A and B are shown apart, each in its own frame.
Chain A
Amino acid sequence: MKRSRAAVLGWQLVILAAGLSVWEWGWDVARAIMPKPWVPKILDPYFISKPSAIWRSFLRLGCLADRAGFSACYRENANNLWLATLVTLKNTCWGFLWGASLGALAGLALGRSEYLARIFEPYIVAMNSIPRIALVPLIILIFGLGDWSKVVTAVIVVFFVVFFNTFEGTRAVDRDQIAAARLLGASELVVLQTVVIPSALAWVFASLTPAVSFALIGVIVGEFIGAERGLGKLIIEAEARANAAEMMVAIFVMMIVGILLSLVVRRVQAYLLRWQPQFDGKT
């Protein structure tokens, strides 16, 4: 068991090293040994940069290699890497929290009430059919270039994902369990608190891991289309200067932000759903 684990890690490191090597030296080596038309364009550092150049861009954007010193550079540059990351992270978190809360509440309400569900069904189907990203220019028009438009975009993207899962989860609650709670003296409200919500929580959480990625996507797209700061803005600026290395820096930071956010969601999930077999020993 332990040996196979080491082997897996070993292979992962080999693949990483191979990938990075091809990225760093692939273009030069290919050009040296192949006729020119055969060299794959995708290896061109103009498009994908190089790990070493990306690292240098990271140090520069992060004010880690500035002659004036870190704090002077940090103050001078309104959209330095750290501030951009912080802004994007903050907007993603707010968008996620509001979107998930509203989605869960709406899902719970409509899942519990057949009547409300029937009234709202056509509206929800219609709204859900709009590609959310198409709304971003409109949202920016309404909420401006600041952080609000990014939060609202994330809320709208997250809302439907969480809504549909909560709705299904609420309807899938075991009717005998509800009857059992009633027979033990539970009121309608107590049934909701002690049976429906805990039971639907597994469904809600199944949607939260994708939802947190969607929130990040929403914020980034919002920043692409119109923003003053953020990681998306950083990418758009780098694109204007055809600077692949800077774009790659922003992309890597987004990757790390995405990983961290889903780790947090998993942690909370593993604790709240510790009664489920798949979360055994992960708390």
Chain B
Amino acid sequence: MSPGPPPEVRARAAVSPHDDRPAARARGRISVAGLAMRYRSPGGEVRALDDVSFEIAEGEFVALLGPSGCGKSTVLNIVAGLLERTAGQVRIDGEEVRPGHVIRKVGYVFQRDTVFPWRTVEANIGYGLEIAGVAKAKRRARVRRTIDAAGLAGFDQSFPRMLSGGMRQRVALMRTLIMEPEILLMDEPFGALDTHTKLEMHRMLLEIWERERQTVLFVTHDLGEALTLASRIILLSARPGRVKEDFAVTFPRPRDAVTLRETVEFGRCYSHIWHSLGEEFRRPVAAAPASATP
């Protein structure tokens, strides 16, 4: 038997109140109750999600972790209002999420590259402000500041094809953050990047979040990433997805994406959660077409 969880990751019921206190400003709260998702496929009915419930407080950074195909992206897309659900309730600040209806306080970063290739970096980042009707001069000033903050200075007139994958994803992130969302939903946003670029992105995201303290729901299958960034990890089981465990991650902040990984505590937490995750990885996935994760 393992010698019990290390103090930095504990089952969340055991640590209350949370280490990361919510910011003074009211931010988005997410409440998911009894969420279920079933759909028909050629092989019969697939139960993608089964009774998923969790609450996310204002200003929390939560990683939704689970094996591939467990439906974690599905949860995120339902929370974003991009996908219909079979059953259950999803509320943002008490307001019911309806599919197809965008909630302004929510920002979303996709796993895939969704930067608009026909717009320059500047026009990509300014997109949301532009369609919201923000005056050009004001918009330019804000975009300029964001570009500088993202380390993209000098690339404002470049088209996305001239940028590396990491830079493009930074543009996508900034395009979302410039709208100052209260809730940031991220679907494996760094999944396609190489290790080095990924660490740089972790650094940047940590710096932004530790300053702004938005509510973040971050989908990933990378345990190291979840531990580096999040204050809490919700572990989903293999299909049909269920909340299997809920850990609080209490590494002190501000965190450094690189040195944190070198600490003994990090390794201990990693192996503790890996133990739970490992079971899920080994369990065969029931009737799972590869396209199940949107």
Residues of A participating in the B interface, judged by any CB pair closer than 8 Å: 174, 176-177, 179-186, 190, 194-195, 198-199, 201, 273-277
Contact = CB atoms under 8 A, between A and B. Distances in A.
A180 B108 contact: yes
B127 A183 contact: no
Interface residues of B, number: 25
B116 A198 contact: yes
17 contacts: A179-B108, A179-B114, A180-B108, A180-B114, A180-B172, A181-B127, A183-B80, A183-B82, A183-B108, A183-B176, A184-B127, A184-B128, A184-B179, A185-B104, A198-B116, A275-B159, A276-B117
B135 interface: no
B112 interface: yes
Given A194-B127, A275-B159, A183 B117 contact: no
Nearest to A176: B114
Nearest to A191: B131
A185 B102 contact: yes
Given A185-B104, A194-B131, A277 B114 contact: no
Given A183-B107, A275-B117, A190 B161 contact: no
B110 interface: yes
Given A179-B82, A183-B80, A184-B128, A198 B108 contact: no
B118 A198 contact: yes
A176 B116 contact: no
A194 to B, nearest CB: 7
Interface string B150-166: 00000000011100000
B137 interface: no
B141 interface: no
A269 to B, nearest CB: 13
A276 B117 CA distance: 8
Contact of A275 (B106, B118, B176): B118
B175 interface: yes
B18 interface: no
Nearest to B127: A184
Nearest to B161: A277
B108 A275 contact: no
A208 to B, nearest CB: 17
A198 B124 CA distance: 13
Given A185-B179, A277-B161, A180 B110 contact: yes
A190 B131 contact: yes
Contacts of A184: 127-128, 131, 175-176, 179
Given A183-B80, A185-B132, 11 more contacts: A177-B114, A180-B108, A180-B110, A183-B102, A184-B131, A185-B128, A190-B131, A195-B116, A198-B116, A275-B119, A275-B159
User: Which one of B82, B110, B127, B179 has the greatest number of beta carbons of chain A within 10 Å?
Assistant: B127
Contacts of A182: 102
B123 to A, nearest CB: 10
Contacts of A174: 114
Contacts of A181: 127
B54 to A, nearest CB: 22
Contact of B161 (A180, A198, A201, A276): A276
A261 B115 CA distance: 34
A198 B114 CA distance: 14
B118 A183 contact: no
A180 B118 CA distance: 15
B275 to A, nearest CB: 35
Contacts of B112: 176
Contacts of B128: 184-185
B2 to A, nearest CB: 40
A177 B160 CA distance: 14
B131 A185 contact: yes
Nearest to A201: B118
Interface string B93-118: 00000000010101110101010111
B127 A274 contact: no
Nearest to B101: A182
Nearest to A198: B118
Contacts of A183: 80, 82, 102, 106-108, 176
Contacts of B179: 184-185
B13 to A, nearest CB: 33
Nearest to B128: A184
A181 B175 CA distance: 10
B43 to A, nearest CB: 24
Q: Kindly name the residue among A180, A190, A194, A273 whose own CB sees the greatest number of chain B CB atoms within 10 A.
A: A180
